[in-house]
Structure 1
Amino acid sequence: MTGFLHDKKQNIDELVARGLHIAVVIPCYNVKAFISQVIRGIPNYVQSVIVVNDASKDGTDQVLSSIIDERVVVIQLEVNNGVGGAVLSGYKKAEALGADIIVKMDGDGQMNPMYLPDLLFPIIEKKANYTKGNRFLHSKELRSMPFVRRVGNLGLSFLTKLASGYWNVFDPTNGFTALDTTVLSSINPENIDRRYYFETSLLVELGLRRSVVQDVYIPACYGEEKSSLSTLHSFVNFPWKLTISLIRRLLYVYFVRDFSMVSLFLISGSAAIVFGTAWGLWHWVDGINKNLEASTGTVMIAVLPLIIGIQLLLQAVVMDIQNVPTQVLGE
Structure 2
Amino acid sequence: MLKRLLIIIPCYNEQASLPALLAELIEVKIPGYVIIPVVVNDCSTDDTSAIARQQQIKVIDLPINLGIGGAVQSGLLYAAQYNFDLAVQMDGDGQHPPKELVKLLSCYENSNANLVIGSRFIEKEGFQSSFTRRLGIGYFYWLNKAFTGLNIYDSTSGFRLFDRKAIELASVDYPDEYPEPESLVYFAKAGFRIKETPVIMASRVGGQSSIRNFASLYYCIKVSLAMLFSAIRKIQ
* Aligned partner (choices 46, 49, 62) of residue 77 of structure 1: 62
**Alpha-carbon deviation of 1:223?**
4.5
Query: What TM-score, normalized by structure 2, do the two folds share?
Result: 0.86
CA offsets 1:53-110 (integer angstroms, 9 cap, x no match): 0000122122122113xxx321001100111101111111122222111011000100
Q: Which amino acid aligns with 1:20?
A: K
| CA distance in structure 2 between the aligned counterparts of 1:73 and 1:229, rounded to whole angstroms | 26
Q: How many residues align?
A: 229
Q: Alpha-carbon deviations, 1:192-242, whole Å to 9, x = none?
A: 22122x112221211111101011111231144342312357531333432
- Aligned 8 A contact 1:145 1:220 in 2: no
Letter in 1 for 2:162: L
Alignment equivalent of 2:100, drawn from 105, 115, 136: 115
State which of 130, 149, 158 in structure 2 corresponds to 1:146: 130
The answer for the alignment partner of 1:177 in structure 2 is 160
Name the CA distance, whole Å, in 2 between partners of 1:227 and 1:251. 30
**Structure 2 match to 1:231:** 213
Residue number in structure 2 paired with 1:261: none
Q: Which amino acid aligns with 2:131?
A: F
Q: In the aligned structure 1, how far is the partner of 2:202 from the partner of 2:195?
A: 20
Q: Give the unaligned 5+ runs of structure 2.
A: none
Alpha-carbon contact 1:166-1:207 (below 8 Å) kept: no
Evaluate the alpha carbon distance shift between residue 239 and residue 113 of structure 1 in structure 2; reply closer, same or farther with a 3 A threshold. Answer: same
Higher RCO (Cα < 8 Å, 6 or more apart): 2
Which residue of the partner structure matches residue 27 of structure 1? 10
Cα RMSD (Å) of the superposition? 2.3
Q: Which residue of 2 aligns with 1:194?
A: 176
Q: How does 1:1-331 map to 2 (within 5 A)?
A: 18-42=1-25, 43-45=28-30, 46-68=34-56, 72-142=57-127, 145-163=129-147, 165-187=148-170, 189-190=172-173, 192-196=174-178, 198-225=179-206, 226-232=208-214, 235-246=217-228, 248-249=230-231
The structure with the largest strand share of the pair is 2
Structure 1 stretches of 5 or more lacking a match?
1-17, 254-331
Q: Match for residue 10 of structure 1?
A: none
Query: What secondary structure sits across from 1:141 in the alignment?
Result: coil
Q: Whose helix fraction is larger, Structure 1's or Structure 2's? A: 1
In 1, distance between residues paired with 2:170 and 2:53? 32
Letter matched to residue 111 of structure 1: H
Q: TM-score, normalised by structure 1?
A: 0.63
Change (3 A) 1:63 1:185: closer
* Bigger Cα Rg: 1
**Which letter does structure 2 place at the counterpart of 1:160?**
N
Matched to 1:230, the amino acid is R
Give distance in 1, aligned partners of 2:13 and 2:24.
19
Give, in whole Å, the separation in 2 of the partners of 1:174 and 1:67: 27
